[in-house]
Amino acid sequence: MNFKELGLNEQMLEAISFMGFEKATPIQELALPIILKGHDLIACAQTGTGKTAAFVLPVLDKLTSNHKHETSVLIIVPTRELAIQIDQAIQGFTYFTSVESIPVYGGGGGSDWDSEKRALTSGADIIVATPGRLISHLNMGYVKFHSIKHLILDEADRMLDIGFYDDIIKIIDFLPKERQTLMFSATMPDKIRQLASQILSEPKEISIQISKPAEGVLQAAYLTYDSQKTSLIRSLIENKPNINSVLIFSSTKLKVNDIVRELRKNERNIQGISSALDQARREEVLSDFKSKKTRILVATDVLSRGIDVKDIDLVINYDVPNDPEDYVHRVGRTARAKTTGVAITLINENDMFKFKRIENFIENEVMKIPLPEDLGDAPVWNPDQPKIKRNRSKSNKSKPTGKRRTYRRNKNKNNKGNTPHK
């Protein structure tokens, strides 16, 4: 459907044209009329379907039609990256208007706090905030939200997973009772419905392809031992001129550094990003990846939802994620907005059971590709039982060397009556 058919004002249609949007996605087509009519909404749609524009465009339509220069929109998100992403989208749509937005997410210096405080007190039209940082400001007593007319919760399921339920309820206590509330979520577990029943009023409901990777994602997997993974990744990305943008997901920030160090031996155009970096550095790394200055980005799951980068050719899961939902969000970084892309998962002998659970969850058996012959034998696919990593029993623990035993014996002899060091 064309955006002109959805009832947006001329100012917003001009902004949409400037941003290069042509036709509305299904979530936009369904959500815009509901939001424009003032209804509360609970919407479930997978990542990469255009959720941000689905709630930003109709809210901006109302702001530009009756602009009062007061804080009337509050958008709450789980991560700094998502706050920045949404704020950047808003800036694009409002380029030719006087509507102002500011992200409130923390992680910076004192100047960031001061600019956030000014926006929260002087009345930026739209505040995009993470719960923890916003509550820090609310606790200071100077934030006034009496003019809020629209509350939007994006990635609501993720916020509850992180443990922001109480924070969200606390923030809502500062808001007017009469408002429009919109909740967007990739999944719809019972806890989301419980929250919706508390904060939404007679909401309309939309559901678009719950928890399934986008159709444009070609999914595949390799059975591989951990010692083969780096070599396999090299074979997938080296001398491949058609692969210009690669995103590799790791389960831990420590492993991010290891992967970057190993791949950098052959590929200089690579960076890592995790919570170990300060916010300024994370933004710089992400900006380099978006602008294609960086070809390969290695990341933790902090980016599985909060990154919106066009034309990612290849997503690699270095580890099988523990949660099937995280798999959906990881592979959803490619093939965004009806494009195509490839997502490859590396499965070691201990992760087969987890990957089988993912296949059951997405209702699809992912193609297993044989390892290149020069990498040697691969594990045999056997997902029926989870592998158990056995700890050594006490009787099998290695004993200290003779020198260490002598040291302890002498130390105890010289410190009679004291508790020996362990």
Superfamily of domain 217-375: P-loop containing nucleotide triphosphate hydrolases (3.40.50.300)
389 or 330: which leads in pLDDT: 330
Number of Cβ within 10 Å of residue 317's Cβ equals 25
Q: Angle formed by the axes of helices 80-93 and 10-19, to 10°? A: 120
**Average of per-residue pLDDT across 188-209:** 89
User: Is the pLDDT at 332 greater than 90, yes or no?
Assistant: no
Number of Cβ within 10 Å of residue 96's Cβ equals 11
pLDDT-wise least confident of 64-68, 279-283, 403-407: 403-407
pLDDT of residue 412: 42
C-alpha torsion angle, residues 210, 214, 220, 223 (rounded to 10): -30
3-class DSSP string for the chain: CEHHHHCCCHHHHHHHHHHCCCECCHHHHHHHHHHHCCCCEEEEECCCCCHHHHHHHHHHHHHHHCCCCCCCEEEECCCHHHHHHHHHHHHHHCCCCCCCEEEECCCCCHHHHHHHHHHHHHCCCEEEECHHHHHHHHCCCCCCCCCCCEEEECCHHHHHHHCCHHHHHHHHCCCCCCCEEEEEECCCCHHHHHHHHHHCCCCEEEEECCCCCCCCEEEEEEECCHHHHHHHHHHHHCCCCCCCCEEEECCCHHHHHHHHHHHCCCCCCEEEECCCCCHHHHHHHHHHHHCCCCCEEEECHHHCCCCCCCCCCEEEECCCCCCHHHHHHHHCCCCHHHCCEEEEEEECCCCHHHHHHHHHHHCCCCEECCCCHHHCCCCCCCCCCCCCCCCCCHHHCCCCCHHHHHHHHHHHHHCCCCCCCC
Q: How far apart are alpha carbons 268 and 294 in whole angstroms?
A: 9
Instruction: Extract the tokens encoding 90.
Output: 């808003």
**CB contact at 8 A, 11 and 97:** yes
Q: Tell which residue, 168, 169, 87, has the closest CA to residue 128.
A: 87
Q: Angle formed by the axes of helices 51-65 and 26-36, to 10°? A: 30
With cut-offs at 50, 70 and 90, classify the pLDDT of residue 415.
Answer: very low
Q: Tell which residue, 48, 5, 12, has the closest CA to residue 27.
A: 48
Do 3-208 and 217-375 have matching folds?
Answer: yes
**Average of per-residue pLDDT across 171-183:** 97
**Average of per-residue pLDDT across 367-373:** 94
Instruction: Extract the tokens encoding 148.
Output: 């809020």
**CB contact at 8 A, 51 and 214:** no
Fold held by 3-208: Rossmann fold (3.40.50)
85 or 168: which leads in pLDDT: 168
For residue 322, with 0-12 CB atoms within 10 Å meaning exposed, 13-18 middle and 19 or more buried, which class applies? middle
pLDDT of residue 136: 95
pLDDT-wise least confident of 189-203, 257-271, 383-397: 383-397
**Average of per-residue pLDDT across 381-391:** 66
pLDDT of residue 191: 87
* Residue-wise pLDDT tens digits, 69-96: 899 999 999 988 889 889 989 999 998 8
- Strand-pair partners of 309: none
pLDDT of residue 242: 84
Q: How far apart are alpha carbons 338 and 344 in whole angstroms?
A: 19
Contacts of 268 (CB under 8 A, 6+ apart): none
**CB contact at 8 A, 129 and 77:** yes
Boundaries of every domain in the chain:
3-208, 217-375
pLDDT of residue 104: 94
Instruction: Extract the tokens encoding 337.
Output: 């907005």
Residue showing tokens 């002899």: 413
* Total residue length of the chain: 422
pTM of the prediction?
0.65
